[in-house]
């Protein structure tokens, strides 16, 4: 654990799944993309190559399960996957469902907005539906 790391100090969102090694959360800091999911290492590591081969496979399986679950629930036009860690150097993947009318589409969600939107809300019951979908995702 790194005492100065925000992903060591807090979950980083609403926890949907947790194991000894990983957690899957709905991000709580992306108000324009309220269905953004992160798969986060529980231990403080910064790079994929800090993991052994089995842990890398487990991580990517969770990323793919999150993608499949979001596709089934939201029917997005695209899913963006990203593992950057420049601002938060703690290994985590972003799984971002995209719609043509989202504020940044087709640019990255960190790019300047392409359009103004009103308040963007999660669908009712989204967290519970996503939890269930993650458990049954291939």
pLDDT in tens, 94-126: 999 999 989 999 999 999 999 888 778 899 999
- The domains of the chain, with CATH numbers, are 6-126 (3.30.428.10)
pTM: 0.93
CA distance 45 to 5: 11
Residue carrying structure tokens 């953004």: 36
CA distance 116 to 14: 26
Q: 126 preceded by cis ω (within 30°)?
A: no
28-69 pLDDT per residue, tens: 899 899 999 999 999 999 999 999 999 999 999 999 999 999
């Amino acid at each position: 654990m790194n005492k100065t790391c925000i992903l060591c100090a807090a979950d980083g969102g609403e926890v949907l799944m947790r194991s000894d090694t990983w957690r899957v959360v709905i991000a709580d800091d992306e108000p324009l993309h309220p269905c953004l999911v992160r798969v986060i290492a529980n231990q403080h590591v910064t790079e994929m190559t800090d993991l052994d081969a089995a842990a890398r496979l487990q991580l990517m399986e969770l990323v793919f399960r999150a993608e499949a679950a979001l596709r089934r629930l939201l029917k997005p036009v695209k899913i963006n996957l990203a593992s950057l860690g420049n601002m938060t150097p703690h290994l985590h993947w972003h799984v971002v469902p995209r719609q043509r009318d989202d504020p940044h589409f087709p640019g990255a969600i960190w790019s300047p907005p392409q359009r103004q939107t009103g308040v963007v809300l999660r669908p009712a019951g989204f967290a519970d539906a996503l939890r269930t979908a993650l458990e049954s995702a291939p």
